[in-house]
Amino acid sequence: MKEYTDTAKRIIAASDDPKKDAPAKRVLMSKLIIAHILKDYVEEFYDVSVDDIINKCIENVSYGEVPVDNNAAPEFIKGLANEDKSTSGDDLITYDVLLEVATLLSEQIGIIVNVEPHNRDNGRLPYSIINRARYYVARLVSAQKGRYFVKSDYNSIRKVYSIWIIMTPNEGKNTVTKYEETPKCIVGNYTEPNSSPLTSIIMIRLGKIEESAGALKILNMLMTAMSAEKKIKMLEDEGVKMTREFKKEVEDMCDWTEAFAERAREDGWEQGLAEGRAKGRAEGRAEGKEEAKLSAVRNIMRSLNLAADKALTAVGIPQAEWDNYLPRLT
C-alpha cells in the first residue's frame, strides 16, 4: 500500500470531503506561482521579471485570516486558516490569499491582490461566481478607509485585483477573462480624467496542459494528476524555479492527488455499480456492468479533471475496449 507523506495524511484526515481544495491552495498560494500569474495577467507587472515580483514587489501576505465582512481596515497577518469559519452560528468568509504588492514601473504606490482558488464553477453553485468576485473587490475597496486613505482622500484608494482560479470548470476551459468597469458616454463625448479602472476581476479557468501556455500552462501542470517527478520536470522546463520548499509542496500535493484518485476510483466504482445494478435489472447484466464502468469513469473525469483516456486507464478498462466508451464520454 502507498505510504503518503505526513502533510498529505493530515490533509486527507482533516477533511471528510476529498474534493476540498486545501492541498491545491497550498501550492497555488505560493509566492512563486502568484508571481507567474501577476507577470502574465496583471498589466502593472508585464515588464517586471518573476524574480523581481517575488523579491521586490510582493510585500505583506495574508493566508485565510482576513474576513470578507470586516468593516475594520484589513490586518495583513501571516498564518494559514480555513476558508470558511463560523462565529456564533454565522458563516464568516475569509479571503484565501490577500497581498499588498508594490508596483515598480507604475505611478501607483501599490495594489491589493486577492487570489481565490475555487473547485466549483457556475452550475454547481447557487449563485454566479462573478457576482461573488464583485462583492469581494467592493469590500476590498471600502476596507481601505483608515489604512490607505482618510476622510475624503479618495485619490489614495489602491487598485484591487481579485484573481479566481477555477480548477474544475464546467465550460470555458483554458480561458483567462478580465472584468473591469468601462465608462460609456450616454450623451456627447467626454471621459473623466483619472478614470482608469479601480477594480479588476480575473477569471482563470483551467483545462488541458497541451492547449495552454504561460501561467495558465503552469497552473494546468500543477492541477493535472501525474507523478511528482514528472510534474517537477515539466515545471522546470517551463521556467519555474523550483526551490526545495516548493518541490516539497508539489510532492505533498501529488501524494494527496494520488490518495484522492484512489478514493475517487473506489467511490466512483461503488456508485457506478449501484447505478449499473439498477439499470442492469431492467436491461440485462452486461449492459448494467458497462454502465457501472461508464459512471466510474465519469466520476473520475469530473473529480480529478482528467481526460477520458486517462480516466479509462485509471478505472482499468483495457485500451481495446475504449471504442465502446469514448463516444459516450464526450
| Domain presence at residue 277 | yes
Kindly state whether residues 158 and 95 are assigned to the same domain. yes
pLDDT at 129: 92
Amino acid symbol at 197 = P
Among the residue ranges 84-93, 262-271, 279-288, the one predicted with the least confidence is 84-93
| Domain presence at residue 233 | no
| Domain presence at residue 248 | no
Residue ranges with strand state E in the chain: 58-63, 84-87, 90-93, 97-102, 110-118, 159-166, 175-180, 199-205
Kindly state whether residues 215 and 275 are assigned to the same domain. no
Q: Are 94 and 63 in contact (CB under 8 A)?
A: no
Q: Are 301 and 323 in contact (CB under 8 A)?
A: no
User: C-alpha angle 111/213/48, rounded to 5°?
Assistant: 35
pLDDT at 46: 93
Kindly state whether residues 78 and 213 are assigned to the same domain. yes
Kindly state whether residues 116 and 207 are assigned to the same domain. yes
Kindly state whether residues 261 and 215 are assigned to the same domain. no
Looking at per-residue pLDDT, the higher value among 246 and 90 belongs to: 246
Kindly state whether residues 201 and 302 are assigned to the same domain. no
Of 223, 238, 269, which one is at a domain's C-terminal end?
223
Stretch (H or E) spanning 139: helix 129-142
pTM, to two decimals: 0.69
| Domain presence at residue 189 | yes
Looking at per-residue pLDDT, the higher value among 222 and 134 belongs to: 134
pLDDT at 170: 82
Residue 40 pLDDT > 70: yes
Q: Are 204 and 216 in contact (CB under 8 A)?
A: yes
Among the residue ranges 124-128, 162-166, 207-211, 247-251, the one predicted with the least confidence is 247-251
In the predicted model, what is the mean pLDDT of residues 216-226? 87
Kindly state whether residues 207 and 262 are assigned to the same domain. no
Residue 52 pLDDT > 90: yes
Could you read off the pLDDT of 115-149 as tens digits, one per residue? 998 877 777 788 899 999 999 999 999 888 888 88
pLDDT tier for residue 79 given thresholds of 50, 70 and 90: very low
Alpha-carbon gap, residue 330 to 309, rounded angstroms? 11
| Domain presence at residue 234 | no
Q: Is the dihedral angle over the CA atoms 196, 46, 58, 252 positive or is it negative?
A: positive
pLDDT tier for residue 84 given thresholds of 50, 70 and 90: very low
What is the crossing angle of helices 228-237 and 214-223, to 10°? 170
pLDDT at 161: 95
User: What percentage of the chain has pLDDT greater than the value 90?
Assistant: 24
pLDDT tier for residue 78 given thresholds of 50, 70 and 90: very low
Mean pLDDT (the chain) is: 75
Kindly state whether residues 184 and 38 are assigned to the same domain. yes
Kindly state whether residues 173 and 307 are assigned to the same domain. no
Residue 268 pLDDT > 70: no
Pairing of β 58-63 and β 84-87:
unpaired
Could you read off the pLDDT of 227-258 as tens digits, one per residue? 888 888 899 999 888 878 778 777 777 766 66
pLDDT at 23: 60
Residue 216 pLDDT > 90: yes
Kindly state whether residues 94 and 22 are assigned to the same domain. yes
pLDDT at 71: 47
Kindly state whether residues 296 and 214 are assigned to the same domain. no
Q: What are 74's three cell numbers?
A: 484589513
Looking at per-residue pLDDT, the higher value among 222 and 38 belongs to: 38
Q: What are 102's three cell numbers?
A: 508594490
Alpha-carbon gap, residue 14 to 101, rounded angstroms? 32
| Domain presence at residue 235 | no
Edge-to-edge strand ranges of the sheet holding 159-166: 58-63, 97-102, 110-118, 159-166, 199-205, 175-180
In the predicted model, what is the mean pLDDT of residues 21-40? 80
Stretch (H or E) spanning 218: helix 214-223
Among the residue ranges 95-104, 131-140, 294-303, the one predicted with the least confidence is 294-303
pLDDT at 281: 54
pLDDT at 162: 96
Amino acid symbol at 18 = P
Q: What are 23's three cell numbers?
A: 492541498
Residue 178 pLDDT > 90: yes
Of 171, 198, 223, which one is at a domain's C-terminal end?
223
Looking at per-residue pLDDT, the higher value among 28 and 66 belongs to: 28
Looking at per-residue pLDDT, the higher value among 14 and 99 belongs to: 99
Kindly state whether residues 201 and 323 are assigned to the same domain. no
* Range of the structural domain that residue 106 is part of: 6-223
| Domain presence at residue 287 | yes
How many separate domains does the chain show? 2
H helical segments located in the chain:
6-14, 22-28, 31-41, 50-52, 129-142, 214-223, 228-237, 244-283, 285-304, 308-315
| Domain presence at residue 10 | yes
